[in-house]
Amino acid sequence: MSAQPDLSQDWKQQYQSRLATLESALGHIRSGMVIGSGHFAGEPSALLAALGSRKADLQDVKIYNMNGVTPQAYAYVNEPGWEGKVRHYSIFAGSQTRKAVQDGRADYVPCFFSEVPRLFRDRLIPINACFVQLSRPDADGYCSFGVSCDYAQSLIESSPLVIAELNAQMPFTYGDKIHISQLDVIVETDHSVLEVKQSEPDGDTSVAEAIARHVSALIPDGANLQLGIGAIPDMVLKFLKGKKDLGIHTEMFSDGVLDLIESGTLTAKNNNVNPGKIVATFIGGTRKLYDWAHKNPMVLMRSVDYTNNVLVASQVNNLVSINSAVQVNYQGEVAADTIGFKQFSGVGGQVDFVRSTGLSKGGFSVIAMPSTAKGGAVSRIQPTLTPGACVTTSRNDVHYIATEYGCVNLRGKSVRERTELLISIAHPNFREGLHKQAVELGFLK
Ligand code: COA
């Protein structure tokens, strides 16, 4: 569709001429098509679910999206009988697509989140159609991307066929927006927006609390934060009360941010690029958060090639990123999206933000994780990554690593020093063995 709106006609007439039922909208999909789709709480769940009506006649359709989370949207991924009909390509193995990726019934595409729009715009993923979920239009005929700006604009601009569900319950957020004339087919929906509860840490919360305390101690007043996905970043938010004038320049935020605003901790006044704004590309939380974000001038929702663009984010002073990991080796290589050969999630914005903090004036990054996994059975700090695991953040990019036993800065440290520092924050049950291995492998003398 056109990258520019057509303002020469009355948008209400344009709207009426594009209106379709779900069934007739899906009738535009042909065998062999490549479809790009929105994701997370803004995924076009009604359109994806309605694909079921085409199960009998579609062949060789490919659907690309990022983090798939809505259960009813993924029958074509998780139910039998879809082989050869519709295949899923995931840029972040989310909760609804992870198993299929791991079992080889769906594919995984490695990519930094900031680059996803470019994959569509440069036709590296050459889509013929796209599905997006938007808010209902404002008085001028513009829809908001609601809780998911992400790469939706790039889908719309690169796709010859744009099918949009306009959900009456999608909040209208300020920032990027799209005109009715840029949509080909409009389906009116009215369903609840997927609510995403904050992650609960595995088992004993004292581990997550101890990590959050260490991380919180590093964060200066006036810092601008990016918080990643997972139990630890969620817990860190709870330990920030009492700080002054924090800001958020991130890819996503959740309900934890509301508490910080209510307590006066988060004012965003030190965001030198977008003063007073909470800047994000997607939101994942409860209805309370979505209602708060609706027409809230404090919220600025922009495409991911803005929020996660190193050239933009690095301009934000005192940018501090907090993300999590499954494993770190003595070199400081971080595995966050694979567990051995298993694709567990995706790179997301971890590397975009780690690199941006490295360039931001006063910025730094933290990778925070429990010292162990599997109920304490394995150390997350290891001499080498498990075979099959991929490096998410490289040893050249990494700054702080935090566990419940402390927080160490690897930046500027030699491999020998890194080994000593990492063993010092490993679980005490593993320290002796890790030290022995370090000597055997030549990391330590
Ligand atoms: N060996 C074996 N299993 C491991 C492991 C290891 N080293 N580390 C973690 N696991 C297992 C856990 O035991 C847990 O298993 P369970 O679900 O059966 O209990 C599972 O993997 C998840 O681990 P956990 O650390 O609890 O996950 P989390 O919800 O806190 O998320 C990441 C952590 C790293 C997976 C998550 O932050 C992520 O996906 N990061 C990559 C993307 C990113 O950082 N993006 C940033 C912005 S979105």
Q: What would the pLDDT profile of 252-266 be if each residue is shown by its tens digit? A: 999 989 999 999 999
Confidence at residue 199, expressed as pLDDT on a 0 to 100 scale: 67
User: What residues form DSSP beta bridges with 134?
Assistant: 166
Mean pLDDT of 276-286: 97
Confidence at residue 2, expressed as pLDDT on a 0 to 100 scale: 65
Ligand 1 atom closest to Cα of residue 228 = 47
Mean pLDDT of 423-431: 98
Structure confidence by residue, pLDDT tens digits, 294-305: 999 999 999 999
> Angle of helix 205-218 relative to helix 231-238, nearest 10 degrees?
60
Ligand 1 site, residue 344, Cβ cutoff 6 A: yes
Q: 414: which 2 tokens?
A: 């030699």
Ligand 1 center–CA 259 separation, angstroms: 25
CA distance 256 to 343: 28
Contacts of 270 (CB under 8 A, 6+ apart): 222, 223, 224, 245, 247, 317, 318
Confidence at residue 200, expressed as pLDDT on a 0 to 100 scale: 66
Ligand 1 center–CA 336 separation, angstroms: 7
User: What residues form DSSP beta bridges with 278?
Assistant: 299
Structure confidence by residue, pLDDT tens digits, 5-42: 999 899 999 999 999 999 999 999 999 999 999 999 99
Q: How confident is the model at residue 1 (pLDDT cuts 50, 70, 90)?
A: low
Structure confidence by residue, pLDDT tens digits, 165-202: 999 999 999 999 999 999 999 999 999 999 988 766 55
Confidence at residue 230, expressed as pLDDT on a 0 to 100 scale: 75
Q: Round the average pLDDT of the chain to a whole number and report it.
A: 96
Pairing of strands 185-189, 247-248: unpaired
CA distance 364 to 202: 27
Q: Is 203 left (phi over 0), alpha (psi -120 to 50) or beta?
A: left
If we measure between CA atoms, which residue out of 132, 128, 166 comes closest to residue 149? 132
If we measure between CA atoms, which residue out of 286, 243, 290 comes closest to residue 268? 243
Confidence at residue 233, expressed as pLDDT on a 0 to 100 scale: 83
Report CA 420 to chain centroid distance, whole Å. 32
Mean pLDDT of 39-60: 96
Ligand 1 center–CA 345 separation, angstroms: 8
Segment (H or E) for 76: helix 75-78
φ, ψ for residue 64 (rounded to 5)?
Answer: -110, 130
User: What residues form DSSP beta bridges with 373?
Assistant: 378
Is residue 251 within 8 Å of residue 348, measured between CB atoms?
A: yes
Ligand 1 site, residue 390, Cβ cutoff 6 A: no
Q: Whose CA is nearest to atom 44 of ligand 1?
A: 350
Q: 48: which 2 tokens?
A: 């994806």
Helix, strand, coil share of the chain (percent; to 5): 30, 20, 50
DSSP, collapsed to helix, strand or coil, labels residue 18 as helix
Residue that has been written with the tokens 């019934």 in this structure: 105
Ligand 1 site, residue 445, Cβ cutoff 6 A: no
Pairing of strands 338-339, 342-343: antiparallel
Contacts of 288 (CB under 8 A, 6+ apart): 255, 258
What is the best residue among 92, 102, 111, 229 to mutate for testing ligand 1's pocket, by most ligand atoms within 8 Å of CB?
A: 229
Contacts of 399 (CB under 8 A, 6+ apart): 354, 357, 358, 364, 365, 366, 409, 410, 411
Structure confidence by residue, pLDDT tens digits, 359-401: 999 999 999 999 999 999 999 999 999 999 999 999 999 999 9
What is the best residue among 215, 251, 283, 326 to mutate for testing ligand 1's pocket, by most ligand atoms within 8 Å of CB?
A: 326
- 251 is known as an active-site residue: yes
Residue that has been written with the tokens 């344009």 in this structure: 14
Mean pLDDT of 348-354: 97
What is the best residue among 66, 324, 379 to mutate for testing ligand 1's pocket, by most ligand atoms within 8 Å of CB?
A: 324
Is residue 82 within 8 Å of residue 100, measured between CB atoms?
A: no
Is residue 360 within 8 Å of residue 366, measured between CB atoms?
A: no
Ligand 1 center–CA 326 separation, angstroms: 5
Active-site residue, from 165, 251, 333, 404: 251
Ligand 1 site, residue 33, Cβ cutoff 6 A: no
CA distance 384 to 185: 51
Ligand 1 center–CA 317 separation, angstroms: 29
Structure confidence by residue, pLDDT tens digits, 355-366: 999 999 999 999
Structure confidence by residue, pLDDT tens digits, 65-123: 999 999 999 999 999 999 999 999 999 999 999 999 999 999 999 999 999 999 999 99
Confidence at residue 203, expressed as pLDDT on a 0 to 100 scale: 62
Mean pLDDT of 412-423: 98
Ligand 1 site, residue 39, Cβ cutoff 6 A: no
Residue 146 per-residue DSSP state = T
Q: Percent of the chain at pLDDT above 90?
A: 93
Structure confidence by residue, pLDDT tens digits, 436-445: 999 999 999 9
Pairing of strands 162-167, 185-189: parallel
